[in-house]
Amino acid sequence: EASLTDPREMASAPSFLAFINTNPWDSFPDARGRRNRRWHSGQPVDIHGLAGTRGKMRSTVNPSNTSVWFDAGGRVRFGHEADDEPEEATNGFQMILSNGALTVGEGGARHPRTAIGSDRNGEVLWLVVVDGRQSGYSEGMNMFELASVMKGLGCWTATNMDGGGSSVMGLRDQDGTMKVVNRPSDRFLGRVRILPVPMVLTIRATAGPRD
């Protein structure tokens, strides 16, 4: 369905202003059922859940409340039915906020997290990335803490996306360079490693590149 790619490469077009990671994914098993999880660019992977762009879905799933999609009018929606026609679509692990109320209990392990939320009308979008697994810097959040943050921001609905080493957010700076603005948890030889992912959600300037 996709190959792992540096997220900055997928969001390199001048009109892209920001990006975050989205869907969970995994490698394909070999003949013995073993999976290669030493992630590298170009590695083919299986995207979990709904995923597509410009009305064409490259990964499909039965109706689910964990999908996050945008209709033809640009409004964000959470959960999809079989007869829905998403223009852009992605998928998370679980809904953590519904109708303004938390849907997860307290406690649980803290990890890096990525979440998407919206207001009651689906007109305002919040993209949140939480660093973690870094002693003395950030432990991460559990689901209850993440849901509480999303509610505090003003979200009516929110979904927990893929997390861990995949959690990443990029913003284009004033020089026009797309830069990762969080501190991902993956490391290579002691340095931060930007994990390649199969897809990202980008925010694009509709009027074209910024001056």
Q: Has residue 208 got a pLDDT over 70? A: no
pLDDT band at 207 (very low <50, low <70, confident <90, very high): low
pTM exceeding the 0.85 threshold for the entire prediction: yes
- Over residues 121-137, the pLDDT tens digits come to 999 999 999 999 999 99
Closest Cα to residue 66, out of 85, 89, 100, 45?
A: 89
What number of H helices and E strands is found in the chain? Answer: 2, 19
